[in-house]
Amino acid sequence: MSDLMTYVPGTSILHRTKAGTKVLTLAVVSIATVVIDNVWLTAGALVLAATAAATARMPRKVLVRQWKAYLLIVVLLGGYQWLTDGPATAFHVAGGLAALLILAGVISSTTRTTELLDLAVRCATPLKRVGVDPERFGIALALGIRSVAVVFDLARDVREAQLARGLGFSLRAFAVPLVVRSLRQADGLAEALIARGFDD
């Protein structure tokens, strides 16, 4: 499984912090950075994210692999915003996204998936009154979390295959096999769920 969504055992204060507290913090920072257009707030979010990563004592290998996935998106978005709206907006948008990605990576690396799923199930319990099954909601969330890492791994495999064949980067040559392999993966998962009675 990709290091993007992998729990890294540790004894830091963030490892010992409850999942609900970490998720709530991420939600507050997300809302603040999106709603409030202020470069100082964005800078503060980046400092908070860097401090969290340092406090979590995440292995350098994990940080590098996470940022290999994030960096291209952040740079492209920042470059586009710079060209269209100027450097301040570019810093606010790209910097805010970078901060949120770092925080999300820290949370996934310091919180067991079971803790996050238990939190989701507890939060969804009041929705029983409107027909929502909290357990199924938890399963759907688990599959969503897993799918992010699976698609990332598939994308990495496709790119490595291209490089092994000496091919340059082509969006079509990259996207087509990725979509095909993702659909095959989804079909296999759907068949497994149906076999276990989750299509009721």
pLDDT of res. 44: 92
pLDDT of res. 51: 92
pLDDT of res. 192: 65
Q: Is a pLDDT exceeding 70 seen at residue 190? A: no
Q: Is a pLDDT exceeding 50 seen at residue 141? A: yes
pTM of the complete model: 0.69
- Of residues 151 and 4, the one with the higher pLDDT is 151
Say how far apart CA 55 and CA 13 lie, in whole Å: 7
Residues in the chain, how many? 200
Q: What is the pLDDT of residues 25-79, one digit of tens each?
A: 888 988 888 888 888 999 999 999 889 988 988 777 777 777 776 777 788 888 8
Q: Is a pLDDT exceeding 60 seen at residue 172? A: yes
Q: Is a pLDDT exceeding 70 seen at residue 1? A: no
Torsion of CA 143, 62, 39, 32, to 10 degrees: 30
pLDDT of res. 58: 76
Torsion of CA 182, 183, 187, 192, to 10 degrees: 10
**9 phi and psi, to 5 degrees?**
-55, 145
Q: Say which range, 5-19, 80-94, 101-115, 128-142, has the weakest mean pLDDT.
A: 128-142
Q: At what angle do helices 87-110 and 19-35 cross, to 10 degrees?
A: 170
Q: What is the mean pLDDT of the chain?
A: 79
> What is the percentage of the chain residues whose pLDDT exceeds 90?
6
- Of residues 149 and 187, the one with the higher pLDDT is 187
- The CA-atom distances, in angstroms, between 179 and each of 71, 182, 186, 192, 194 are 22, 5, 10, 20, 22
pLDDT of res. 70: 73
pLDDT of res. 171: 66
pLDDT of res. 5: 57
Highest mean pLDDT: which of 96-100, 141-145, 195-199?
Answer: 96-100
Structure tokens at 64: 């590098």
